[in-house]
Structure 1
Amino acid sequence: MSDAQPLYARVKDHIRENIRAGTWEPGRRVPSENELVESFGISRMTANRALRELSAEGLLSRVPGVGTFVKEPTAFSSLLELRNIAEEIAQRGHRYSARLIARSEVDTNAALAEEFEDRMLKRLFHVVIVHEENGVAVQLEDRYVNPLAVPDFLERDFQTATPTAILLAATPVDELEHTVEATLPTSDQQRLLGIGPLEPCLALHRRSWSRGRIATAATLTYPASRYALYSRHRTTARGTFPQ
C-alpha cells in the first residue's frame, strides 16, 4: 500500500487483498468499523467509507446490527445460449436442488395462444420451479410447454432433471428469443425466492422454436443480488454477428 493513497483506499486495498488471496472466504465477517479505526488509526468516517464502497462494489454485504461479511461471488448465466442451470451450478462446484411448486395441464387462453403463435392450440403443460444453489433460491422458472414437443413432459421427475435438460433431450432447438427486463418481485416471487419487496430482479423471458413451432415459453426470474446474465460472442469489425 502506498502512503500517498487516501486512508480509505488503503483500508479498501487491505480488505480486497485478503479476499483475493482467499484469507477471508465468502461468509466471513470482516473487521468492524471500530476494529478498523483501532488497527489503522483512522477516523470512524474513513472506516465507514471503505466498507460502504466495497459493499457498493459487490465485495461485501452489510447486515445492520450484525456486521459486514465477505459476499458470495455473483453467479452468472448465459444470456444468449440455452444452458442447463443445474450444470452451471455443478460447474461452480456447488450443490444444485429444485423445489417443484406447480405442475398442471392448462387451457390455452388468448394471451397464451398469441404467445405460442397458434390459435388452434387448446392445451399447454405448465410448471413452476424454484432452482437453488447451495440451498439458496437463485431462479424462479415459470414455464409453458407445447404438448406436441414433449408429450410426457408432466410425467418427468423435475428434482432429477431440469425442464431445459428434458426439452433438449426430447426435441431439437431451431431458434431462441430472449427478452430481459428489470423488475421488482411480486408477493409470490418474494415468498418463493426468499427476498424482500425492494430486491431488484432480472426477468428473462425466453421462447424456443423446434421443428418450425414454438415448443416452450418461459419466464426465468433471478434476484439481481444473487445472479447476473452475461453474453460473449465473436462479432464482425462493426460489432454485428457474422452471417
Structure 2
Amino acid sequence: MANRIHASDRLSRRRPTALYQQVKDYILAKIRTGQWSPETRVPSENTLIQQLGASKMTVNRALRELTAEGVLHRLQGVGTFVAQSKSPSTLLDVKPIAEEIAQRGGVHSCEIHRQTSETASPELAQALNVTAGARVFHVVLIHSDEAGPIQLEDRYVNPAVAPNFLEQDFTAITPSRYLLNELPVSEAEHVIEAIMPDKATRQLLAMGPNEPCLVLFRRTWSDNLVVTRSRFVHPASRYRMGGRFVPASPFHPMES
C-alpha cells in the first residue's frame, strides 16, 4: 500500500536534523521517488504521529510548512494530498495574498487606499505596453492578517484587458484572485529586492524605524497582452518568500 510506513522510518533523536525537518524529508523522499504521486493522500496526522514516533506539534509543523511551500495541499474535512508537480518556471506562483494567509490558518482583511483611473506615464506605458498618456487602472491596498499589515499592494492594470477591474469590491476579493478568475496567466515576471522603506510605507505597514522590506515586482501576461504591473511590499519581520518544486522524475545538472 502506498501510504504504509515501516519501523525503519521512525525519527532519530540522535541526528542533528530537527525532528520536524526529518518529517518533511520523509514526505519529500516519498514524493521524489514516486512512491507518492500527485494527488496521493498523505497519511493522516495521527498516523504519522504514531508510526514516525513524532509529537503532534512536530508533524503539524512539517505538514503546515510543506503546504505553505506548495508541496502538499489540504482539503478541509477530507485530508492532505500531494500537490501537482511544479517546474522551475512556476517556482514563484501568482498566488493571492488572502489565500496565502488562509492556507496557514489566518484571517485576511484589506484596506483600500486608492482605486482609480489615471494617466500612464511614459515608464508605466512601456511596462504595460500601452500608449503614453493612456488611461490605466490603479489600486493601492493594505493586506493584513490577525497580527497586522503584511503587504502593501500597488497595482496598475491595463483596462483593455480587464475593463471591469475598478468595479470590484476588493475588500471581498483580492485583485489577484479577480484577475486570475477572469484571465489565464500565460507568463509572469518576478523581481525581488530588499529595501529600506520611506516614512509613508512604514506608517502604512506599521513598521519600526529601522526595519527593512521585501519587495516583489511582478508583471503578468495573458495571451501575449500585459495585464498588470504590480509592486508588493512586505515587512521583513512578518513575511518571507520561498518556493520548492518537485520534479516529475529525478534529474542531474548538465555537465559543462
TM-score, normalised with respect to structure 2: 0.61
- Tell me the alpha carbon deviations over residues 55-110 of structure 1, each in whole angstroms, 9 at most, x when there is no partner: xxxxxxxxxxxxxxxxxx9xx68861011111111121211100111111010110
Asked if the contact 2:120/2:132 (under 8 Å) is kept, the reply is no
Unpaired segments of 5 or more residues in structure 1? Answer: 1-19, 23-72
> 1:21: Cα distance to partner?
8.1
State how many pairs are aligned.
168
Of the candidates 77, 95, 101, which is equivalent to residue 107 of structure 2? 95
Q: Please name the residue that 1:34 is paired with.
A: none
Q: Please name the residue that 1:180 is paired with.
A: 192
Let me know the Cα RMSD of the aligned residues. 2.2
- Which amino acid letter does the alignment assign opposite residue 184 of structure 1? M
Of the candidates 201, 211, 218, which is equivalent to residue 206 of structure 1? 218
> 1:234: Cα distance to partner?
3.5
1:237 and 2:252 aligned: yes
Asked if the contact 2:69/2:244 (under 8 Å) is kept, the reply is no
Asked if the contact 1:137/1:193 (under 8 Å) is kept, the reply is yes
Asked if the contact 2:122/2:132 (under 8 Å) is kept, the reply is no
Change (3 A) 1:174 1:21: closer
Q: Please name the residue that 1:160 is paired with.
A: 172
Q: Please name the residue that 1:53 is paired with.
A: none
Percent identity (aligned)? 40
1:197 and 2:212 aligned: no
> 1:120: Cα distance to partner?
6.1
Secondary structure at the aligned position of 2:240 is classed as strand
1: CA distance between counterparts of 2:186 and 2:98?
22
TM-score, normalised with respect to structure 1: 0.64
- Tell me the alpha carbon deviations over residues 164-203 of structure 1, each in whole angstroms, 9 at most, x when there is no partner: 0110011111000000000011111111000023111100
2: CA distance between counterparts of 1:232 and 1:135?
26
Unpaired segments of 5 or more residues in structure 2? Answer: 1-54, 58-64, 71-90
The structure with more radius of gyration = 1
